[in-house]
Amino acid sequence: MGERTNLRASDGHELGAYRSEPSGRPRGGVVVLQEIFGVNSHIRAVADGFAKEGFLAVAPALYDRSSVRDVEMGYTPEDVKRGRALREEFSWDDTVKDVEAAMLSLRAKELRVGTVGFCWGGSISFLSAVRLPLDCAVVYYGGQILPYVNEKERCPLLMHFGKKDASIPLKDVEAIRGAHPEAAIHIYDADHGFNCDPRPQYDEAAAKLARERTLAFFAQHL
């Protein structure tokens, strides 16, 4: 369904992206933000899923600023270690520039635009919501929000967290809720990564409910 495309950030950086188009006029644009495993088959499937729902979806290859391009990994312990190492090569400011490039590519189609991010991408989705002129943003278990928690969102915000997620204690979720009382925050009886079906932490019931809420949120704001 989708195809590879290219984007150019405001600082001149060129990055790849996966673009998935719906049949007919798009209902809106969605920027899909990767986990630490790159724009892999799961992230492409997520983008395709939003396209099937009528949205034009773009997943920017955020690792293209690193020492390697076209990164695509699985979920082994070795992949986790490599993904964390690649993530450390980044500045958050540069990553937001890449999200902005994807956003502007969708704005060029005269679409309202939202982001949805998972894990590392969830934190990026939050940061994009406070720094970019988006129409809405969705966060799945973003674990690096607290350093930026006092920045105010510029658009409606929907957030999904897992009660069993040891990497994001519920006290952190409550701190986020306290700083962003207008955000819709849901907690599921699930672990980190519950939306990702190739991972052992996948939780079908939580993933289904979170997706229903996300689609309703996009239908309202896009």
Which own/partner contact pairs does 117-120 have at CB distance under 8 Å and 24+ positions apart? Answer: 117/32, 117/33, 117/34, 117/142, 118/33, 118/34, 118/35, 118/43, 118/46, 118/193, 118/195, 118/196, 119/35, 119/36, 119/143, 119/192, 119/193, 120/33, 120/34, 120/35, 120/36, 120/83, 120/87, 120/144
- By DSSP bridging, strand 2-8 and strand 14-20 are antiparallel
How far is residue 12's CA from residue 157's CA, in Å, rounded to a whole number? 29
Neighbours of 8 (CB within 10 A): 13
Q: Which residues are catalytic?
A: 119, 165, 192
The residue assigned the tokens 């999904």 is 160
